[in-house]
Structure 1
Amino acid sequence: MSSENVVKTREKMKVLDLVYVAIGAALIAICSWISIPTAVPFTLQTFAVFFVLLLLGGERGTIAILVYVLLGAVGVPVFAGFSGGIGILLGNTGGYILGFLFIGLIYILFTKLFKKKIVIKVASLVLGLAVCYAFGTAWFMHVYMQSSGEVGLITVLGWCVFPFIIPDLLKLALAVVIARRVEPVVR
């Protein structure tokens, strides 16, 4: 392969990476709009985060998550309920949104340290989700107590984590099945 062809191939891959990242961020936004409002809304965001990481890989998937968060931070209505703005990120549920980045970072770490077997990928996503829950819950408690007074950890877990565990694990399973079917087409 000539050096000119190598340069063209690298440029094409960079453009393709940008397209994949944009599509990944858009998918997360679309899935966030499908929501059932509660203290922490039930959305398909976590499905999209899992799917994007599984399909695009750790680096591109995490960049897609970051783009999604930054778009929302500057006011683009990409969050649940067609909302956006830094106020959402600084509000009660902002820690869960920022926690998606931890899912991506843990996914990168696990898939770099261990082989990219499906068991490792799923384990990293489950661990990342647990870290997202922990970070989001701590954030929720801090913001909630500043505005509304004391609240117990079990109460907050009852509002923000326990109702989401089984649905999020089902979303993870669905993301694995769909990503495995779509992956040969994308690669």
Structure 2
Amino acid sequence: MPTESVSYRLRTRDLTYVALCAVLIAVCAWISIPAPVPFTLQTFGIFAALTLLGGRRGCYAVAVYLLLGLVGLPVFAGFQGGAGTLLGVTGGYILGFGATALIYWLVTARLGTSLPVSILACVLGLLVCYAFGTAWFLVAYARSVGPISLTAALGMCVFPFVLPDLIKLALAVLLSRRVGKFLR
């Protein structure tokens, strides 16, 4: 894959891929898998967009997804949307997807797009998303319900999701390796 240049312009095909991946993320957010702590396929959509499109276009897809939700379209989990969702206790994790995309773009721009680098970039992005989301959760939860310990917050918001998120990451990387060659 060629290195992205500073004078990079989006072509119609690029815009189409960005839009399709933003829709993929939204559809994945709507798919809820029942468990003791239910989870969605939203992170799968994020990882798929990033690994399929690369850093720049993947960032654009995540940004479009976040903006669609911000203006009120029901693209977030549970068919929710709007600024209220982003300002709620789990809004930090949704906004953390933007940080995940930026980390992915930064790492792959510096180190290339090989399989190990792509996986590393996704894992680092996921860790940043967890950190950002948990910090946001601690503040929002304390404001609306009362103080909560970091351990309790991690137990509610991170620990149950680590293994499923890593599985979704692996599936997204596999998908992008299979499908990605047809997008070039």
- 1:86-117 alpha-carbon deviations (Å, 9 max, x no partner): 00000011100010011111111111111221
1:80 aligned residue: 77
1:185 aligned residue: 182
Question: How big is the alpha-carbon RMSD for the aligned residues of Structure 1 and Structure 2?
Answer: 1.8
Separation (CA, whole Å) in 1 of partners of 2:36 and 2:136? 14
2:126 aligned residue: 129
Question: Which SS does the other structure have where 1:92 is aligned?
Answer: coil
TM-score (norm 2): 0.92
2:160 aligned residue: 163
Number of matched pairs? 177
* Shift in Å, 1:158: 0.4
Native 8 Å contact 1:73 1:86 kept in 2: yes
2:62 aligned residue: 65
1:93 aligned residue: 90
1:53 aligned residue: 50
Amino acid at match of 2:56: E
Question: Which SS does the other structure have where 2:72 is aligned?
Answer: coil
1:14 aligned residue: 11
* Shift in Å, 1:36: 4.3
Separation (CA, whole Å) in 1 of partners of 2:147 and 2:36? 16
Q: Which has the higher helix share?
A: 1
- List aligned pairs for 1:32-51, cutoff 5 A: 32-36=29-33, 42-51=39-48
Structure 1 residue ranges without an equivalent (≥5): 1-9
- Whether 2:172 is the aligned partner of 1:175: answer yes
- Whether 2:104 is the aligned partner of 1:120: answer no
TM-score (norm 1): 0.90
Q: Segments of 4+ in structure 1 off by > 3 A?
A: 36-41
Cα distance change of structure 1 residues 41 and 91 upon mapping to structure 2, 3 Å threshold: farther
* Shift in Å, 1:40: 7.7
Among the aligned pairs, what percent are the same residue?
Answer: 58
